[in-house]
């Protein structure tokens, strides 16, 4: 393949030393990425190893700026001007000021992804240093493996939670510790539903009474049952009708629980650009968890309602982080934007010393939520977790990978092995077909999410 004209011009004389290979065959340690940033002072591009986490806060402190990821439409215009689908890490493609992470200069050779036919250009390190001779060299990135995220030991979460609070409050000199720890009690509706769940004599009328006692919740349940997603025959006129004829006792109970908890905390004004919002993530994961639970072999299936509720609440820690760590929540959002291929747990642990999964599970435990849901939320990022109720956590992990692979913007994704499907007793081809259908019904999912956020 011949290099694109813009790339040939950017390489100049060094083009002679470039070799092309399949990007998948290039060493991960050699692959570089270039991230486009801007602020009121202008544009800047940053080059680092592809898998490293860019510490945007540190870079802004060093430069005295307020840089953040360039808006997607602006990035698109830059690529279109260069006639490229993706920008390889060549500063002269834009001519903007450039900062190169010092770790790049330690590599013997570098690989620059083209985005054309999944190819990468490999060149000696000295050639790349010549191409970036005018760039500023700084320490601006961190290797993810140096950030020790606790994926395994739920018992240490409380200790890490208090450590993170202490670290956080030391930076908030003018506010009291108790202000930081102001978390709402478990909402009354959720309390009543938990009591109903453990009552062996509970009947549908008890659930209808709880939902109808909250007019806003009742309206949402009826709207949900009336949505095109369920295609109910005839008009849904009441909560009783929604429960008995369309949604069922279990789904309404967990839907009401998720709604009441989601309303207990304010929706943050800020969020990472390019990610779907809180309620969209909740519906995607709830639907996917329900699908996967239903497809597991009889006798091994988890409880559908608990799997669904785990999906509905999987990202509850996002809301908690926004309330408990408000100044740092912004840093996390900006970091997720410039490090889209690094999982949020790594970014959050780096900045806060704790992850959204840990803090949400701690709160769920304090509230007395079912262990299946608490542990699913806590271990959803750990596909090898095999402790209590592990199937719920593993279904959340798998659902996330399947959705991400289909373009649902939930964050960084991972490959799923055939062995993982086998351990859950799932037929991979059938699962893939079901998720293709789910993603094809995107408009219905978005409509359902819109009802939740009203």
Read off the pLDDT of residues 171-203 as tens digits, 9 standing for 90 and up.
443 343 334 445 567 778 888 888 887 777 888
Distance CA 140, CA 231 (A): 52
Same-domain check for residues 173 and 67: no
Same-domain check for residues 7 and 103: yes
Same-domain check for residues 65 and 176: no
pLDDT by residue (tens digit) across 314-334? 999 998 888 877 778 888 899
Same-domain check for residues 52 and 157: no
Assess if residue 66 is contained within a domain.
Answer: yes
Can you give the CATH number for the domain in which 359 is found?
Answer: 1.10.3210.10
Same-domain check for residues 92 and 164: no
Assess if residue 237 is contained within a domain.
Answer: no
Can you give the CATH number for the domain in which 79 is found?
Answer: 3.90.960.10
- How many angstroms from the chain centroid is the CA of residue 228? 27
The domain tally of the chain equals 2
For the segment 10-31, the average pLDDT, to the nearest whole number, is 80
Per-residue pLDDT band for 274 (boundaries 50, 70, 90) equals: confident
Q: Pairing relation of β-strands 119-124 and 68-69?
A: unpaired
Same-domain check for residues 97 and 164: no
Same-domain check for residues 288 and 436: yes
391 pLDDT more than 60: yes
Same-domain check for residues 27 and 156: no
Check if the beta carbon of residue 410 is closer than 8 Å to that of residue 403: yes
Long-range contacts of 87-90 (CB under 8 A, 24+ apart): 87/34, 87/36, 87/115, 88/7, 88/34, 88/112, 88/113, 88/114, 88/115, 88/121, 89/32, 89/33, 89/34, 89/47, 90/7, 90/10, 90/11, 90/34, 90/131
For the segment 264-276, the average pLDDT, to the nearest whole number, is 80
Assess if residue 168 is contained within a domain.
Answer: yes
Assess if residue 245 is contained within a domain.
Answer: no
Q: Is 81 exposed, middle or buried (0-12, 13-18, 19+ CB in 10 A)?
A: exposed
Look at 210 and 268; give whichever has higher pLDDT. Answer: 210
Per-residue pLDDT band for 86 (boundaries 50, 70, 90) equals: confident
Same-domain check for residues 162 and 290: yes
Assess if residue 210 is contained within a domain.
Answer: no
Same-domain check for residues 41 and 176: no
The number of CA neighbours under 13 Å toward the Cβ of 453 is: 15
Q: Which residues constitute the domain of residue 29? A: 3-144
Assess if residue 50 is contained within a domain.
Answer: yes
Look at 38 and 22; give whichever has higher pLDDT. Answer: 38
Assess if residue 234 is contained within a domain.
Answer: no
Same-domain check for residues 388 and 438: yes
**What pLDDT score does 166 carry?**
54
Percent of the chain scoring above 90 in pLDDT: 39
Same-domain check for residues 320 and 447: yes
**What pLDDT score does 177 carry?**
32
288 pLDDT more than 90: yes
pLDDT by residue (tens digit) across 24-76? 777 788 899 999 999 999 999 999 999 999 999 999 999 999 999 999 999 99
Average pLDDT over all residues of the chain: 85
The number of CA neighbours under 13 Å toward the Cβ of 304 is: 16
Assess if residue 400 is contained within a domain.
Answer: yes
Look at 89 and 17; give whichever has higher pLDDT. Answer: 89
438 pLDDT more than 90: yes
């Amino acid at each position: 393949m011949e290099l694109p004209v813009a790339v040939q011009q950017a390489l100049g004389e060094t083009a002679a030393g470039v070799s092309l290979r399949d990007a998948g065959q290039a060493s991960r340690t050699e692959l570089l990425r270039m991230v486009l940033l801007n602020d009121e002072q202008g544009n800047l591009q940053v080059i680092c190893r592809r898998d490293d986490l860019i510490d945007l806060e540190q870079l802004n402190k060093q430069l005295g700026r307020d840089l953040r990821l360039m808006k997607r439409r602006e990035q698109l215009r830059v690529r279109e001007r260069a006639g490229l689908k993706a920008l390889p890490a060549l500063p002269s493609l834009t001519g903007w000021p450039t900062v190169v992470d010092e770790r790049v200069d330690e590599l013997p050779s570098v690989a620059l992804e083209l985005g054309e036919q999944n190819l990468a250009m490999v060149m000696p390190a000295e050639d790349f240093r010549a191409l970036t001779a005018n760039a500023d060299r700084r320490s601006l990135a961190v290797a993810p493996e140096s950030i020790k995220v606790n994926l395994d030991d739920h018992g240490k979460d409380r200790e890490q939670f208090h450590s993170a609070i202490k670290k956080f409050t030391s930076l908030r000199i003018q506010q009291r510790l108790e202000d930081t720890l102001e978390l709402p009690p478990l909402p009354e509706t959720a309390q009543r539903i938990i009591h109903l769940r453990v009552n062996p004599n509970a009947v549908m009328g008890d659930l209808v009474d709880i939902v109808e006692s909250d007019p806003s919740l009742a309206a949402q349940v009826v709207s949900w049952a009336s949505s095109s997603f369920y295609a109910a025959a005839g008009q849904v006129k009441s909560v009783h009708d929604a429960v008995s004829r369309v949604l069922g006792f279990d789904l309404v109970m967990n839907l009401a629980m998720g709604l009441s908890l989601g309303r207990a905390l304010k929706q943050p004004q800020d969020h990472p650009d390019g990610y779907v919002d809180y309620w969209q993530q909740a519906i995607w994961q709830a639907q996917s968890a329900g699908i996967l639970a239903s497809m597991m072999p009889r006798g091994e299936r988890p409880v559908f309602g608990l799997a669904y509720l785990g999906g509905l609440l999987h990202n509850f820690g996002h809301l908690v982080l926004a309330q408990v760590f408000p100044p740092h929540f912004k840093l996390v959002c900006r970091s997720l934007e410039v490090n889209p291929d690094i999982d949020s747990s790594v970014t959050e642990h780096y900045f806060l010393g704790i992850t959204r999964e840990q803090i949400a599970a701690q709160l769920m435990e304090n509230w007395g939520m079912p262990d299946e849901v608490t542990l699913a939320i806590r271990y959803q990022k750990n596909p090898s977790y095999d402790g209590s109720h592990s199937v719920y956590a593993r279904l959340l992990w798998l659902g996330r990978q399947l959705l991400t692979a289909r373009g649902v913007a939930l964050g960084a994704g991972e490959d799923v092995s055939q062995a993982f499907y086998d351990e859950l007793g799932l037929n991979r081809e059938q699962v893939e077909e079901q998720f293709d259908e789910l993603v094809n019904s995107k408009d219905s999912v978005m409509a359902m999410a819109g009802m939740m956020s009203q």
